[in-house]
Copies of this chain bind each other. A is one copy, B any other.
């Protein structure tokens, strides 16, 4: 098994990359054009890449707008599809998943002013009793100030207690194993990741180990902060598993290049790769981080999305407990969670939390200060998170219906994961690992030689060329695999399996037909 260089394998579009930092505007004669232009702006931001909403989705949005206006115009040849299927982003409600009823009832009740909401005589006929009761409890937790006031920068204490009890229950830990003072409620997981990476990256020698492939918020944020991306490869042939030898190799190489590696990102279940790591692997990772004193960032936002029979989510927190690393104060860990994924799929809410474990208390204070400068995360997002970690209990009025709705969504996701896995693998020239978890497939595509040559001639990334071709011929919007980084010479794309089961069957069929056409075009 030969591994390519792990540092530089991130795609940057040559057309937008700054020629060199020295070109930055440094004297103060007013420039000829705009003061703020591509040359004078922050070059770390200019060079930052973010693939999930990049070139392909922009093209999709343009086609979508054209499709909507073709009813009134006949100037262009209409494409042979009626709408764009957005499989580029894990955005369940946008592709037909219904919100769960009970959390939305509670949320609506918390927003209604007194006299219209929980106390209104009609409320009882419109809302179940346990929704009204929970809404009252939430109003108390918010100090009686309602949803319109800033909260504590970390979120209200009662919500953080809910989160701690959830973590303890999930991981089989005793009460108190999780400290509410170490919970930060955030606007989605993104804001938490930003807070922690900002604290970790102090200069351009600081390195963060990230998987290849990875979710591009990591590469983008490290670029923006002018830190070093230190890639470690996941093992595609073994269902995207990890192995410690590769972690050691990557760390050694980075250190020999003068990089001060201070942290490690684990995404479990994987994004874009969909693997669910075993207890053994997660324990190896926490031991590796403890041994090398790397702060472990555990991105566990897909912890509910596990489709394997007998598959279970095994958290880094639990691993650190069960290897005694927490008891020995030998691990620095930050775990992230979100309302956007799982069964709730409440992306637009921007709810999330992070838990610090073993972090220096002085550093925690600094993170509080940093979070304070944006005051607090949005309150409806906080409420949704508290409802996600503390739902109706057996016997509650909404328990059966809530659990029933959740199960229906989960079972359907499971079937869709399978439709994608079996469908893509049936296509000649495409192979795909099984998505044990999360919401994505990351198939590998055998690219015809002619296509690679044309891409090189045109100076475009072959994955982007392929994804644009797929979009134009089928209306399916995927993300080029290069945006997540991958081994040299590999090609492919990431797709969600979030559209309805019927539509997923169509997606697979269309991808198949397009792949055949594409190969013929470049034969």
Contact = CB atoms under 8 A, between A and B. Distances in A.
Question: Helix, strand, loop or mixed for chain A's interface?
Answer: loop
B149 A347 contact: yes
A112 B104 contact: yes
Interface stretch (A45-53, A74-82, A413-421, A464-472): A45-53
Contacts of A378: 187, 348-350, 378, 380-381
A381 B145 CA distance: 17
A85 interface: no
A496 interface: no
B94 A37 contact: no
Interface in A193-235: 194, 198-203, 205, 216-217, 220-221, 224
A36 B99 contact: no
A111 interface: yes
A48 B373 contact: yes
Interface stretch (A1-9, A25-33, A430-438, A487-495): A25-33
B36 A295 contact: yes
Interface residues of A, number: 114
Interface string A9-42: 0000000000000001111101101111110111
Contacts of A33: 360
Nearest to A251: B28
Contacts of A221: 373
A25 B260 contact: yes
A377 interface: yes
A146 B38 CA distance: 37
20 contacts: A28-B259, A30-B292, A33-B360, A34-B360, A35-B332, A41-B366, A42-B200, A45-B369, A50-B369, A93-B145, A98-B114, A104-B116, A105-B112, A108-B108, A108-B117, A116-B126, A149-B347, A187-B378, A349-B380, A350-B379
